Amino acid sequence: MTTPTFPSRLPNVGTTIFTVMSALAAEHKAVNLGQGFPDFACDPALVDAVTRAMQTGHNQYPPMVGVPALREAVASKIETLHARRYCPNSEITITAGATQAILTAILACVQPGDEVIVLEPCYDSYVPNIELAGGVVVRVPLTPGSFRPDFARISAAITPRTRLIIANTPHNPSATVWTAEDMRALEELLAPTGILLISDEVYEHMVFDGAEHQSAARFPGLADRAFIVSSFGKTFHVTGWKIGTVAAPAPLTAEFRKVHQFNVFTVNTPMQYGLADYLGNPAPYLQLPAFYQAKRDLFRQGLEGSRLRLLPSTGSYFQCVDISAVSDLGEADFCQWLTREIGVAAIPLSAFYGDGFDQRVVRFCFAKKDETLREALTRLRRL
């Protein structure tokens, strides 16, 4: 019997660069600074809070939109940090991670033929999500080198069919952070339009050097049209738990929840209760900028003796470097060579562009134990 065939919904999607590089790192016993996840444990108090929730009996379906105590905690955190109050009942939804949140928002508001602006380089789920919704991807590059938004180019990309724009700050992969001026420029640009915004803010608590995260929640003209996405996995070092949040005005949330109900329905119950309990103490996320800045500084100082040229890292847990002085190889080939010959895995920035744009820049993740970073630096200083 022959297995039936059918047209692929994502014919251009293959194995991701993260899977490829992680497999290559394992094969060559390389230090894996490619994929963006910590190699250290979360706070034992958080595990204890989840354990208590399980032992207390919170093991059945929670409310579809999320446990009330967690939605209230999220709303309170946003109000404290950004001075905008979201209604926990009608404007906060708990999701199965930020990636599901972004897909759900796109499916909720993008009709076939609608245009969606993405700013490249961008996180690799955006484009397939848009294609699954039948939308048309409109790629606008961030300024090469600085990775700042080019509002003239964004404005030129807007047409009557533009439904949505996706912005990401702190930015993956470039580690840049949008300023208040950037956010106000976007607010002004979108003001006369009906364009919606997905504000991907999963690295919101990783902003360095005394700067503040400029959430879309702080800007009324953005907040009124935005799905604001965040991630407990990124914030609390539990990426495998896959729990995120979406804050959005009630009319947007109502449409979001229609899709959420039928692609996930509910999210892990005891972890929601544990997180609600843990959020009672703001110290863990308020201390996160200093925690990751120390790792960034350790990594940057260790690379000063190499021929890798450091690009600014103002947010997230990534460090990009220019490889021009080290090799004539393109980014992808360089990352393979680096893994095999030097024993450190990185990710080529070209993987975050639809056309594979190669600017001789690769990305490292420094969300690792200090000893992991030191071992990687020992190897990288051979360059």
Q: How far apart are the first and last CA of the chain?
A: 55
Closest CA to 363 of 42, 193, 121, 166: 121
Please determine, for residue 247, whether its predicted confidence score (pLDDT) is greater than 80.
yes
How far apart are the C-alpha atoms of 320 and 145, rounded to whole Å?
Answer: 10
Q: What is the pLDDT of residues 42-54, one digit of tens each?
A: 999 999 999 999 9
Mean local confidence (pLDDT), 319-330: 97
Q: In what order do the strands lie in the sheet with 196-200?
A: 92-95, 244-247, 226-231, 196-200, 162-168, 115-120, 136-141
Q: What is the pLDDT of residues 6-26, one digit of tens each?
A: 999 999 888 888 888 899 999
Please determine, for residue 96, whether its predicted confidence score (pLDDT) is greater than 80.
yes
Share of the chain above pLDDT 90, in %: 95
Share of the chain above pLDDT 70, in %: 100
- β-bridge mates for residue 200, sequence order: 168, 229
Q: What is the pLDDT of residues 249-306, one digit of tens each?
A: 999 999 999 999 999 999 999 999 999 999 999 999 999 999 999 999 999 999 998 8
C-alpha distances in angstroms, 189 versus 102, 183, 197, 219, 360?
A: 22, 10, 12, 13, 32
Can you read off the two tokens belonging to residue 13? 């999607």
pLDDT for residue 147: 97
Please determine, for residue 340, whether its predicted confidence score (pLDDT) is greater than 80.
yes
How far apart are the C-alpha atoms of 287 and 236, rounded to whole Å?
Answer: 11
Q: What is the pLDDT of residues 225-246, one digit of tens each?
A: 999 999 999 999 999 999 999 9
Q: Where are the alpha helices (DSSP H) in the chain?
A: 17-27, 44-56, 68-82, 97-109, 126-132, 151-157, 180-190, 220-223, 232-235, 250-263, 269-278, 283-286, 288-303, 331-337, 370-380
Task: Label residue 123 by pLDDT band (50, 70, 90).
Answer: very high
pLDDT for residue 35: 86
pLDDT for residue 352: 96
Helix (H, G, I), strand (E, B) or coil at 122: coil
Range name among 72-76, 136-140, 304-308, 312-316 with the lowest pLDDT average? 304-308
The position carrying tokens 């250290």 is: 40
Closest CA to 124 of 359, 367, 356: 356
pLDDT for residue 366: 98
pLDDT for residue 218: 98
CB 341, CB 382: distance < 8 Å? no
Mean local confidence (pLDDT), 70-78: 98
b/e code 163-184 from CB counts within 10 Å (16+ = b): bbbbbbbbbbbbbbbbbeebbe
Selected from 3.30.70.20, 3.40.640.10, 3.20.20.140, 3.40.50.1100, the CATH number assigned to the domain covering 44-281 reads 3.40.640.10
242's enclosing H/E stretch is none
Please determine, for residue 85, whether its predicted confidence score (pLDDT) is greater than 90.
yes
Please determine, for residue 189, whether its predicted confidence score (pLDDT) is greater than 80.
yes
Q: Where are the alpha helices (DSSP H) in 212-268?
A: 220-223, 232-235, 250-263
Using DSSP bridges, classify how beta strands 115-120 and 162-168 pair: parallel, antiparallel or unpaired: parallel
Task: Label residue 323 by pLDDT band (50, 70, 90).
Answer: very high
Q: What is the pLDDT of residues 137-172, one digit of tens each?
A: 999 999 999 999 999 999 999 999 999 999 999 999
CB 195, CB 229: distance < 8 Å? no
- β-bridge mates for residue 361, sequence order: 322
| Fold classification of 17-42+286-380 (topology level) | Aspartate Aminotransferase, domain 1 (3.90.1150)
CB 101, CB 129: distance < 8 Å? no
The position carrying tokens 């200083």 is: 381
The position carrying tokens 């014919």 is: 11
The per-residue DSSP string of 341-355 comes to: IISEE-EEGGGGSTT
Mean local confidence (pLDDT), 64-81: 98
Can you read off the two tokens belonging to residue 106? 């796109």
Q: Where are the domains of the chain?
A: 17-42+286-380, 44-281
Can you read off the two tokens belonging to residue 131? 């294609």
